Structure 1
Amino acid sequence: MKKRSAIKDDLFASEHHREKIDRTGDPLAEIEQHINFSALAAEVDSIAPRVDSTQGGRPPYPTETMVRILVLKRLYNLSDEQMEYQLLDRMSYQRFCGLTQAINIPDRTTIWHFENRIGEAGAQALFDGVSAQLFKQGFIARGGQIIDATLVPAPKQHNRRSDKEMLDQKAMPIDWKPVKRRQKDTDASWTKKYGKSHFGYKLSINVDAKYKVIRRFQCDTAKEHDSQHFEAVLDRYNTSQDIYADRGYPSTEREGWLKEHGYRNHIQRKGHRQKPLSECQQRRNKRIAKTRARVEHVFASIDQMGGKLIRTVGQARANFAMTMMAACYNLKRLVSFQRAGIKAF
């Protein structure tokens, strides 16, 4: 006698699965509901127009489909190979990208070529497009601005000492063949933080204190000090003149410049071995930290998107990845506002 089983076969099982996903709550459906992807695709096409296929050849995939794939890739920090697999395997990914009935799914090479085609300018267009949608909903920069930086790790390079010396001099080892050169990241750098060594890049951001939205950002290698990007990420359109930053940013020249331009300085003081902070300065730092800590929520949210590790080689590709980080964080932030029913005014 055949044993009874809870598993039931049905020709329409996939439809039942979709219905249950909808009842449970599909986060990708929520993103699709609140984000205008056709507008984002138009922004990308204005920077990197699609190839004209009227003369023959295989037509390219719609830009909107590829933009959705890039968003998925960054939201879950997937490699091109994993992105291809997930598009073939996951029903929710196929539905989000409009590929449910498609027999030809964009493969890893297609995704790679699309990223190459749009480049950093295309990623910046996506960031600007999401920012425009935030602005349209009334979420302008308010409440002051918080400036901080985070390390973005990259795959560690294992080079011989002689090779390292040549790379430090901006030269390429003679015995490196072209294939090896393409796999070596000579732009990423080492730095130390809290006594630990880190290899990769650095992402400096400016977040408004009210909505915790990334307004400006700057990409660089890990060895560059956080304070070097202060002026580059300063947002002159914030409705408040308050500027918050941690103890890595204070300087006499900067404080004078901020005062001259009408900004209210909320940069934490830094003590020294021969000159520790006074009790008054410690209280001031503690008061500033309550607001400044909001930028750490942003970094934590980015880290929850599959981590900050980037799988790229070279500064240009790293810039693309970090720009997509900022764009996808803002995208998620806008969706969270809409879901919670938060109004700008």
Structure 2
Amino acid sequence: MSFSEYDVTRRTRKENFLKQIDQLIDWNSIEKAIAAHYAPVSDAAGRPAYSGLLLFKMLLVRIWNGGLSDESVEDMSNSNLHVMRFLGLSLEDDVPDHSVLSRFRTRLTAADAWDELLARVNEQIQVHDIAVRKGCHVDASITQSPRRPKARPAYEVVNDREERDDEPGAQSAMRVIEVTQPGVDSEAYWIQKGGKSVFGYKQHTVVDGNGLVLTVETTAANCHDSKPLLGLLEKANIRPGTRIHADKAYSSQKHRAALKSRGIKNGIQDKALRNNPLTRRQLQRNSLITKARYVVERTFGSQARWFNAKILRYRGLAKAHAWHMLLAMAYNLKRLPRLVADHRLITQT
């Protein structure tokens, strides 16, 4: 250990959150998963490249500190001793600049690597035996995009063939297309929420009994909550005997039959139909499900409060999904030290 490394260690608190995470997580499996998609030997100038794990940790630090910009997390990595220690940097080491961080995130997004990384993070969490899988919960939350249209969409007529408009068949070759407005996220969409129009994406999420995120699907905001349900259950590898809790938006005969065929217990709220109101027993059941599924609402609320998660900085569905997956990993790791401490307290009493 160099004098500078010793000085950094001496000047950081033992119970700092970043130190706790380093003690609880074995980063080797995560580093291997990153290296499958990002393992450069040198940078453009021929210098040794920064490790993928270092850049991944910088992305986590960025979210843990309220969703900083890439430039701000670069500054923090240069000035904050706790962050420097977490990243494995000494005072003499260079810190990756914001452009390196951006390219790293883009590379992993193009490789569709984020789902695998969440699985590796969750494997490390499961080592501490704190996951609660008896009951899982499904819900969706909207992430707003500031890159919304500034005016009503414009349209233009396009002729697919080089013909005069008055020639036979020319009219049938014409089509009307929407003109893309500059700066607008063309993959996001509008939805009515609470009487207001919201433009962006929807985060479809499965959490365990602790509220830890198991898996996420990202769609445009106008996608109905229930549409990705069966795909989410497959991705989360929900075991037979597990009860899935969800609100009445997920209620359908198709979903009830699918859960039964998989041996998954139905915890979806009942929905009243025309001329067929809910019975007292169904109302009581819905009330019990509401009390059980608060944990998924807590997950969304905590992400919004801690990480400023409701506003998307990026454009496009793939980058929106990357943001949602990073939020999931940051949230699970943020909750880990407290959950481990509570679990140890219970086992000791």
Q: Which is further off, 254-263 or 126-135?
A: 254-263
Match of 2:79 in 1: 89
What is the SS of the residue equivalent to 1:220?
strand
Task: Answer yes or no: is the 8 Å Cα contact 1:144–1:240 preserved in 2.
Answer: no
Look up the match of 2:127. 136
- The residue number in structure 1 matching 2:23 is 33
Q: Deviations over 1:293-314 (max 9, x none)?
A: 1211211222233221220011
- Please provide the CA RMSD for this pair: 3.1
Match of residue 115 from structure 2: 124
Structure 1 residue 325 displacement after superposition: 1.1
Q: Return the offset for 1:141.
A: 5.3
- Counterpart Cα distance in 2 of 1:190 and 1:60: 41
Matched, 1:215 2:214: yes
d(CA) in 1 for partners of 2:304, 2:249: 22
Correspondences of 1:115-194 after superposition (within 5 Å): 115-119=105-109, 121-139=112-130, 142-163=133-154, 171-173=178-180, 180=182, 183-194=183-194
Distance (Å, rounded) in 2 between the aligned partners of 1:270 and 1:60: 56
User: Against the structure 1 CA distance between its residues 272 and 238, is the aligned structure 2 distance closer, same or farther, given a 3 Å change threshold?
Assistant: same
The aligned length equals 321
The residue number in structure 1 matching 2:231 is 232
Q: Is the CA contact 1:267–1:288 (under 8 Å) kept in the aligned structure 2? A: yes
TM-score where L is the length of structure 2: 0.81
SS at match of 1:22: coil
Matched, 1:45 2:47: no
Deviations 1:124-154 (A, max 9, x none): 2321210221233334552122111111122
Q: State the Cα distance separating 1:82 from its structure 2 match.
A: 1.8
In structure 1, the partner of 2:172 is none
Distance 1:170 1:237 in 2: 42
Amino acid at match of 1:137: H
Distance 1:129 1:170, change over 3 A: farther
AA aligned opposite 1:66:
L
For residues 123 and 243 of structure 2, the distance between their equivalents in structure 1, rounded to whole angstroms, comes to 23
Match of 1:299 in 2: 300
Counterpart for residue 195 of structure 2: 195
Local SS of the residue matching 2:138: strand
Distance 1:124 1:306 in 2: 20
Aligned counterparts of 2:9 and 2:214: Cα–Cα separation in 1: 37
Q: Which amino acid aligns with 1:62?
A: S
Distance 1:22 1:86 in 2: 17
How far did 1:344 drift?
10
Secondary structure, aligned partner of 2:203: strand
SS in 1 for 2:308: coil
* Paired position in structure 1 for 2:168: none
Mean alpha-carbon deviation: is it higher for 131-140 or for 28-37?
131-140
Runs of 4+ in 1 over 6 A off after TM superposition: 15-18
Unaligned 5+ residue runs, structure 1? 1-14
Tell me the secondary structure at the aligned position of residue 152 of structure 1.
strand
Amino acid across the alignment from 1:259: K
Q: CA deviation at 1:44?
A: 0.5
Q: Deviations over 1:241-267 (max 9, x none)?
A: 322110111012222332344332221
More deviation in 91-100 or 52-61?
52-61
1:187, distance to aligned residue in structure 2 (A): 0.9
What residue in structure 2 maps to residue 62 of structure 1? 51
**For residues 100-142 of structure 1, what are the alpha-carbon distances to aligned partners after superposition, in whole Å with 9 as ceiling and x for unaligned?**
4135221111110111222253322321210221233334552
For 1:320, the equivalent position in structure 2 comes to 322
From the superposition, tell whether residues 42 and 16 of structure 1 become closer, same or farther in structure 2 (CA, over 3 Å).
Answer: closer
Q: Deviations over 1:11-61 (max 9, x none)?
A: xxxx999757516x4211111221222331121002x14123399712211
CA distance in 2 between partners of 1:233 and 1:170 (Å): 33
Structure 1 residue 283: deviation in Å? Answer: 1.1
Q: Which residue of 1 aligns with 2:166?
A: none
SS in 2 for 1:121: coil
Answer yes or no: is the 8 Å Cα contact 1:141–1:237 preserved in 2. no
Alpha-carbon deviation of 1:316? 1.3
Q: Which moved more, 1:198-207 or 1:136-145?
A: 136-145
The match for 2:266 is: 265
306-315 or 102-111, which deviates more: 102-111
Q: Is the 8 A contact 2:216 2:232 kept in 1?
A: yes
Alignment check: 8 A CA contact 2:148 2:185 kept:
yes
**Which residue of structure 2 lines up, in the alignment, with residue 329 of structure 1?**
331
Over 3 Å counting, the alpha-carbon distance change for 1:162 and 1:30 in structure 2 is: same
Query: What is the deviation of 1:239?
Result: 5.9
Indicate if the aligned counterparts of 2:142 and 2:201 stay in contact, CA closer than 8 A.
Answer: yes
Secondary structure at 2:226 match in 1: helix
Deviates more, 1:196-205 or 1:31-40: 31-40
C-alpha separation in 2, matches of 1:229 and 1:82? 35
SS in 2 for 1:225: coil
Shift of 1:341: 4.0
Give unpaired runs (5+ residues) of structure 2: 1-5, 158-175
State the alpha-carbon separation in 2 of the partners of residues 258 and 185 from structure 1.
Answer: 36
- Checking the alignment, whether the CA contact within 8 Å between 1:137 and 1:344 is kept in structure 2 is no
- Partner of residue 101, structure 1: 91
